[in-house]
Amino acid sequence: MVKKKPRLERDKRLLQFTDHDAYLDSFITKQDRCFLQNLHVCRRFSELGYRNWEETLSKEAFEKRYDTVMDYVNPEFIPYVLVSEKTLCPDEIHKELAKRERSNRLGIMSTIIHIRHETETGHEVSGYIDYGERIEGENWRSFFEGRKRIFPNSKDLGFYHWKYGKSRSNDSVNYKIYTDPYNGLRFQNRFDRKFINVNPFVHPGENTVRVRVKSNLYKHVILFDHLVRQRV
């Protein structure tokens, strides 16, 4: 089975067209021009999908996707600062999250961090962190420089303190939490409504990849990278 390219990659083809009419004209054949003899009618046939085996975009959808891919390919400005830039990133977890900072800030990717670690007293704390939400609300420079650790807390997607038996779960900016006896714990992305499965024995979900990170600072680290498909 041939895997489809992510939408942003596929939509780069739209940049060859100056406007929606030029996009519709690309589907018109010589036979259409010969028999219909009316450019407006030819374009109407194209817009209705009679000349395209795949999805044919309306004017509104075309302009929205065109603007999205244009901003992605040629951003006019950067509305954020990458705090991981020009930092040491001493551990593998620093390097992996630095790679994902830009895409999470842009909303192209949404990463969930699953961490298990031991406190100084030897008690385990674990949980799930919405990476995109945390980097927007906190300054992570000291983390990327190796001067501070990032741990799950009671305000994150999931938090469990094994010593005190304290457990908390919260919806975040990017995810809603679902639990049931059949599927267990799942996170639903708010933007494309896709589910992320954290069960290690099942597939993580559509457009989602599970990545194990070998870190010297944490007992266990898993990253769930979800490619966000923008709804039109």
pLDDT in tens, 32-67: 666 666 677 667 766 666 555 567 777 888 888 888
Strands 124-130 and 220-227: unpaired
Residues 23 and 101 in one domain: no
What rounded mean pLDDT belongs to the chain? 83
Residue 80, domain member (yes or no): no
Residues 63 and 136 in one domain: no
**Is the pLDDT assigned to residue 203 strictly greater than 90?**
yes
Residue 18, domain member (yes or no): yes
**Is the pLDDT assigned to residue 141 strictly greater than 60?**
yes
Residues 31 and 97 in one domain: no
- pLDDT per residue over 91-112, tens digit each? 999 999 999 999 999 899 999 9
Residue 137, domain member (yes or no): yes
Q: For residues 21 and 7, what is the distance between their CA atoms, to the nearest angstrom?
A: 21
Residues 124 and 198 in one domain: yes
Residue 79, domain member (yes or no): no
Residue 87, domain member (yes or no): no
Per-residue pLDDT band at 232 (split at 50, 70, 90): very low
Q: For residues 2 and 56, what is the distance between their CA atoms, to the nearest angstrom?
A: 21
Evaluate whether 121 touches 180 at the Cβ level (below 8 Å): no
Rounded alpha-carbon distances, angstroms, from residue 170 to 31, 129, 178, 206:
59, 10, 10, 23
Residues 106 and 55 in one domain: no
Residue 85, domain member (yes or no): no
Residues 51 and 97 in one domain: no
Q: For residues 232 and 229, what is the distance between their CA atoms, to the nearest angstrom?
A: 9
With 0-12 CB in 10 A as exposed, 13-18 as middle and 19+ as buried, what is 84?
buried
Residues 209 and 120 in one domain: yes
* The last residue of a domain, from among 73, 108, 126: 73
Residues 112 and 193 in one domain: yes
Find the domain containing 124 and state its range: 92-227
Q: For residues 74 and 112, what is the distance between their CA atoms, to the nearest angstrom?
A: 28
Residues 112 and 219 in one domain: yes
Q: How many domains does the chain have?
A: 2
Phi then psi dihedrals of residue 177, to 5 deg? -100, 135
Residues 98 and 168 in one domain: yes
Q: What share of the chain in percent tops pLDDT 90?
A: 44
Rounded alpha-carbon distances, angstroms, from residue 6 to 10, 29, 55, 108, 208:
6, 28, 15, 10, 12
* The last residue of a domain, from among 73, 102, 120: 73
pLDDT of residue 49: 60
Residue 68, domain member (yes or no): yes
Evaluate whether 104 touches 131 at the Cβ level (below 8 Å): yes
